[in-house]
Amino acid sequence: MQLDDLEESINLSGSWVTDPSGTIRHVKTNTKFSEEKGISVEGSEYTLKPEDIELDESARLGAGASGVVQKGRVKSTGMMVAIKGIRIEAKDKKDQLLAEVKSLAVAQWCPQLVTWYGGFVSKCIVHVVLELMDMGSLRDLHKKCKEVPEAQLAHISASSIQGLLFLHDRNILHRDIKPENILHNSAGEVKLTDFGISRSLDATLEMAGTQIGTQIYMAPEMCQGEDYNFSVDIWSYGLVLYELATGVFPFPALQNFATLFQCICIDPEPRLDEGQFSAAMTEFCAKCLTREVSERGDSPRMVNHAFVKPSIENSAQTQEAFATFLASLSHRSL
For residue 23, give the CATH number of its domain.
Answer: 3.30.200.20
Is pLDDT above 60 for 31?
yes
Can you tell me the distance from the alpha carbon of 198 to that of 265, in angstroms, rounded to the nearest whole number?
23
202-223 per-position pLDDT tens digit: 433 344 445 545 688 999 998 8
Assess whether 209 and 302 both reside in one domain.
yes
Task: Evaluate whether 193 touches 181 at the Cβ level (below 8 Å).
Answer: yes
Rounded to the nearest integer, the mean pLDDT of the chain is 80
Q: Are residues 208 and 321 in the same domain?
A: yes
User: CB–CB of 7/123 below 8 Å?
Assistant: yes
Query: In angstroms, how far is CA 152 from the centroid of its own chain?
Result: 19
What is residue 13's predicted lDDT score, i.e. its pLDDT?
43
> What's the mean pLDDT in 125-145?
89
pLDDT value at residue 36:
63
Query: 172 with 82, same domain?
Result: no
Q: How many CB atoms lie within 10 A of CB 119?
A: 26
Among candidate residues 68, 100, 131, the one where a domain is terminated: 131
Asked if residue 321 has pLDDT above 90, the reply is yes
Task: Tell me the mean pLDDT in the region 132-159.
Answer: 96
Where does the pLDDT of residue 2 fall: very low under 50, low under 70, confident under 90, or very high at 90 and above? very low
pLDDT confidence of residue 6: 26
Residue 216 has, within 13 A of its CA and on its CB side, a CA count of 14
Separation CA 144–CA 198 (nearest Å): 29
Does residue 61 share a domain with residue 105? yes
229 and 301 housed in the same domain: yes
Q: So what's the pLDDT on residue 5? A: 33
For the cut 70, the answer to whether the pLDDT of residue 35 exceeds it is no
Q: In the structure, what pLDDT confidence band is assigned to residue 34 with cuts at 50, 70 and 90? A: low
- Highest mean pLDDT: which range of 2-16, 67-81, 84-98: 67-81
pLDDT of residue 50: 75
Range of the domain at 109: 16-131
Distance between start and end Cα atoms, the chain: 30
Q: For the ranges 201-215, 219-233, 264-278, which has the lowest average pLDDT? A: 201-215
Length of the chain: 334
Look up the pTM and report it. Answer: 0.80
Looking at the fold, whether 159 and 125 belong to one and the same domain comes out as no
3-state secondary structure of 81: strand
Residue 144 has pLDDT above 50, yes or no: yes
Same domain, 231 and 295: yes
Q: What are the tens digits of pLDDT across the range 80-114?
A: 888 887 776 656 666 666 666 766 776 667 899 98
Higher pLDDT, 122 or 72: 72
Q: Is it the case that residue 44 has pLDDT exceeding 80?
A: no
Mark whether 292 and 183 lie in a shared domain: yes
| Per-residue burial over 195-233, b = 16 or more CB atoms within 10 Å of its CB, e = otherwise | bbbbeebeeeeeebeeeebbeebbbbbbbeeeebbbbbb
Note whether residue 233 is domain-resident.
yes
Which domain-ending residue is among 109, 131, 153?
Answer: 131
176: annotated active-site residue = yes
For residues 302 and 284, is the Cβ–Cβ distance under 8 A? yes
- Residue with more model confidence, 66 or 60: 60
- Does pLDDT of 305 surpass 50? yes
The verdict on 146 and 295 lying in the same domain is yes
What pLDDT is recorded for position 12? 38
Identify the active-site residue in 52, 176, 194, 233: 176
Regarding predicted confidence, which is higher, 116 or 18? 116
Same domain assignment for residues 73 and 152: no
- End-of-domain residue from the set 131, 151, 172: 131
Dist CA 326 CA 149 (whole Å): 11
What pLDDT does residue 207 have? 44
> 274 and 126: one domain?
no
How many whole angstroms separate alpha carbon 183 and alpha carbon 279?
Answer: 27
Q: For residues 40 and 74, which has the higher predicted lDDT (pLDDT)? A: 74
Which position has the higher pLDDT, 252 or 226?
A: 226
Q: What is the mean pLDDT of residues 155-168?
A: 96
108 and 245 both lie in a single domain? no
Question: Within 10 A of 330 (CB to CB), how many other CB atoms are there?
Answer: 11
